[in-house]
Amino acid sequence: MELTNDLIIKALLREQVDRTPLWVMRQAGRYLPEYLRTRAQAGSFLQLCQTPELACEVTLQPLRRFNLDAAIIFSDILTIPDVMGLGLYFTEGEGPKFRKPLQTGSDIRNLPRPDVHESLAYVMDAIRLVRHELAGRVPLIGFSGSPWTLATYMVEGGPSKSFGKIKKLIYDQPALAHLLLEKLADTVTDYLNAQIESGAQVVQIFDTWGGVLSADAFKEFSVRYLGRIVAGLKREHEGRRVPVILFCKGCNAHLEAQAGTGCDALGLDWTMSLAEARSRVGQRVALQGNMDPAVLLAAPAVIRHEASQVLSSYGHGSGHVFNLGHGITPDVDPDHLQALVNTVWELSPSFH
């Protein structure tokens, strides 16, 4: 089916567009009352992810309210470790945890390469459902966690402050760490390719924890595997290019290394101006971002001002997808997101 609105794909490929497209990380989320109702109906966050009809419903909810230029499939970055046998569960207020975190070398050596078409069929089913419902209105984004970020959760067993276990692994047993990261890179490649075959028209890789590494360790233990994944992806499907976005939070010191992976675009958090990022890597990749999500807590006039600053910072020409620098937070008033969407629609044409 032809896309009615392919602005995001064009912008990610740095082709000419007539306004700056936008979507919002975690746009299907707790700030929306209708999301909370569907989640309550599902019983739990994990059941919501695993029930294709409900995952499809929450994926579409933000698009019913706002003029967004993409949907992103509702899922979790930790589905892969879950189907590798670690047993994902969520505890209220403490975030994701694993029943069987990786504790020994044999735990790592015995990790299976799951058949993601089968074990993550619920994701593929949800993608097909969303594509059917969208009927070409906007593109659908698929996603995965990065090998480094998945490894971090799998070794720490859940969220961490100091990342002592995974760092001890990379420093004391680098060969074992590389074995784990290779296995994860292979499975992430399978997973994203399965999403593309099921209908994802853009894919984003989230390296949530790349920013806890030193410059050298980031290149060795994260970027290397991001490049391996990008090289293994089906970049053409349904006769179109499938753009790849990397979003490495807290990694602005390493933009050049990220751009060197062969991806089409970099997602940026809000700690670096788009002007600076563009001057460093704008000839090689598109940029996505990067308003501080906390701005959405402020008054609509402030949101308008800050959004216009983000647009001006990128400046004129193609290659910008507007987004927040991280996920929208649960305490945001949906009317404030409306103010942001209105601003980008209104002000961005003058930059093209």
Q: Is 162 in the site for a copy of itself (CB under 8 A)?
A: yes
Q: Which of 120, 180, 306, 340 binds a copy of itself (CB under 8 A)?
A: 306
For this structure, is 30 an active site residue?
yes
For residue 122, the minimal CB distance to a copy of itself (Å) is: 29
For this structure, is 153 an active site residue?
yes
The three state secondary structure string of 285-308 is CEEEEEECHHHHHCCHHHHHHHHH
Assess contact for 111 and 84: CB atoms under 8 A: yes
For this structure, is 225 an active site residue?
no
Q: What is the contact mask toward a copy of itself in residues 105 to 144, using x (rule: CB under 8 A)?
A: ----------------------------------------
Give the torsion sign (CA, 216, 222, 226, 228): positive
* Residue 181 backbone phi and psi in degrees, to 5: -70, -35
Residue holding tokens 């305490």?
Answer: 331
> Distance (Å, rounded) from C-alpha 154 to C-alpha 205?
17
For residue 216, the minimal CB distance to a copy of itself (Å) is: 7
The catalytic position among 35, 153, 191, 314 is 153
In order of 252, 263, 342, the CA distances from 281 in angstroms are: 11, 12, 29
For residue 169, the minimal CB distance to a copy of itself (Å) is: 9
| Lookup: tokens for 324 | 């927040």
- What's the residue count for the chain? 352
Judged by CB, which is closer to a copy of itself: 56, or 154? 154
> Distance (Å, rounded) from C-alpha 177 to C-alpha 181?
6
The three state secondary structure string of 168-193 is HHHHHCHHHHHHHHHHHHHHHHHHHH
Q: Which of 60, 179, 294, 347 binds a copy of itself (CB under 8 A)?
A: 294
For residue 166, the minimal CB distance to a copy of itself (Å) is: 9
Name which of residues 190 to 229 contact a copy of itself (CB under 8 A). Answer: 211, 213-218
Q: Which of 43, 87, 112, 164 binds a copy of itself (CB under 8 A)?
A: 164
Q: Is 299 in the site for a copy of itself (CB under 8 A)?
A: yes
Q: Is 167 in the site for a copy of itself (CB under 8 A)?
A: yes
The catalytic position among 6, 14, 19, 26 is 26
